[in-house]
């Protein structure tokens, strides 16, 4: 598959680059960012951490605000950040322009309901198409971990649970832990997947963790001053589900922190070092 480089910046001895490509899975042009650590200059193939961002975000939010590249350069880990939804002319959007559905809000599912089913296959894009592109065009190996924030935290944990052979570890900041039972998730799942809530369970971390067959070690950080904590994120439900099946998930409540990238930047080093234990 052809990819086009649209930006390139040297950073901590490595390179931050943005690319566009035509996605067969999504039926539109997509953009992703990759940070390639300095170890590739010595001929090494490096492991990859996939980062999934939250509502309204693109590949740029994490790469510009999280401050992850310094530690990634030290550890020799590439970071890949896709967009959060399909985009472009002809791609459906929320008719009322809401931020929590449609463009920028793909929720990392494969939509089955029209008109969303034409383009909104973010699950297949993240799990299959994007890694195939990355592994074809860049000096990376097939060792992968996955992380994300909010909607992307939901995506990272859910994808790891459904694909334990593909990921060594998973982590999340402020994940939407039980989307079948919160307003953001219910709106998205109804629109993308239909009204039968049984079809939602395949994309719900809390439901998946209860029936897992193979565990992927997981780290979750949640700020206790997060404005979405009680209504949308529900970390206590995730913790209870993990405890009920003795799942290897560490949930840390961080005093005074909110839902912002100030929070992510404060603990991203912990997450990268957590993943490095398993990627190495």
Q: What are φ and ψ of residue 5, in 5° steps?
A: -75, 125
226 catalytically annotated: yes
**Choice among 83, 204, 221, 226 that is catalytic:** 226
- Among residues 45, 35, 43, the alpha carbon closest in space to that of 73 is found at 35
Whether 149 is catalytic: no
Question: Is there a catalytic annotation at residue 119?
Answer: no
Residues 233/226, Cβ–Cβ less than 8 Å? yes
C-alpha angle 262/268/269, rounded to 5°? 130
Q: Of 119, 259, 271, 275, which is the active-site residue?
A: 259
> Cα separation of 122 and 105, whole Å?
10
Which residue among the candidates 150, 169, 171, 177 is catalytic per the annotation? 150
* Residue with tokens 């993943």, as numbered in its chain: 275
Q: Active-site residues: which are they?
A: 150, 226, 259
């Amino acid at each position: 598959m052809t990819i086009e480089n649209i930006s390139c910046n040297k950073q901590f001895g490595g390179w931050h680059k943005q690319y566009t490509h035509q996605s067969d899975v999504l039926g539109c042009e997509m953009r992703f960012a990759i940070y390639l650590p300095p170890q590739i200059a010595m001929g090494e193939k490096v492991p990859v951490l996939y980062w999934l961002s939250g509502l309204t975000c693109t590949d740029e939010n994490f790469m510009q605000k999280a401050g992850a590249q310094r530690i990634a350069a030290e550890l020799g880990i590439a970071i890949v950040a896709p967009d959060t939804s399909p985009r472009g002319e002809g791609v459906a959007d929320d008719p009322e322009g809401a931020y929590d559905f449609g463009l920028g809000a793909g929720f990392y599912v494969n939509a089955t309901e029209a008109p969303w089913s034409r383009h909104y296959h973010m699950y297949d894009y993240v799990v299959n198409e994007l890694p195939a592109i990355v592994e074809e065009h860049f000096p990376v190996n097939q060792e992968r971990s996955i992380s994300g924030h909010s909607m992307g935290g939901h995506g990272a944990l859910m994808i790891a649970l459904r694909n334990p052979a593909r990921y060594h570890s998973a982590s999340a900041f402020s994940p939407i832990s039980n989307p079948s039972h919160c307003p953001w998730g219910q709106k998205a799942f109804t629109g993308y997947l239909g009204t039968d809530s049984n079809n939602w369970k395949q994309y719900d971390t809390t439901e998946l963790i209860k029936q897992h067959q193979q565990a992927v070690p997981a780290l979750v950080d949640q700020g206790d001053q997060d404005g979405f904590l009680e209504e949308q994120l529900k970390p206590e439900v995730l913790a209870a589900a993990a405890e009920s099946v003795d799942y290897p998930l560490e949930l840390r409540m961080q005093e005074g922190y909110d839902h912002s990238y100030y929070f992510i930047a404060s603990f991203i080093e912990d997450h990268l070092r957590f993943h490095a234990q398993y990627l190495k």
